[in-house]
Amino acid sequence: MVISMAEKKVTLMLEGLHCGHCAETVANGLKKLKGVRSVEVVYTTSKGKVVYDPDVVKVDEMIKTVKDLGYDVKSFKE
Ligand SMILES: [Cu+2]
């Protein structure tokens, strides 16, 4: 069994969050992605901090997930 130890962090600048529930929806959606280790979405700053395994999941997939949930990603910072 191979366990990947790679780990990266990205901060997503989110758009369309209206309340804490929106933040939770986005966080839960991102947590379902394979390779995502932890997610912290803060409604007041519209920032989503994600710790992930870059060998398993790409930022593009996170952005797609956010968009599928009805929100948007303005930009991101690695
Ligand atoms: Cu909301």
- Domains of the chain, start order: 8-77 (3.30.70.100)
| DSSP calls for the chain | -------EEEEEEEE---SHHHHHHHHHHHHTSTTEEEEEEETTTTEEEEEE-TTT--HHHHHHHHHHTT-EEEEEE-
Please state the rounded mean pLDDT for residues 32-42: 97
Average predicted confidence (pLDDT) for the chain: 95
Query: pLDDT tens digit string along 5-28?
Result: 789 999 999 999 999 999 999 999
CA distances from 63 to 3, 4, 26, 70, 75 (A): 25, 23, 10, 11, 9
CB atoms within 5 A of ion ligand 1 belong to 18-19, 21-22
Length of the chain: 78
Quote the ligand 1 centre to 14 CA distance (angstroms): 13
Quote the pLDDT of residue 3: 64
User: pTM for the whole thing?
Assistant: 0.91
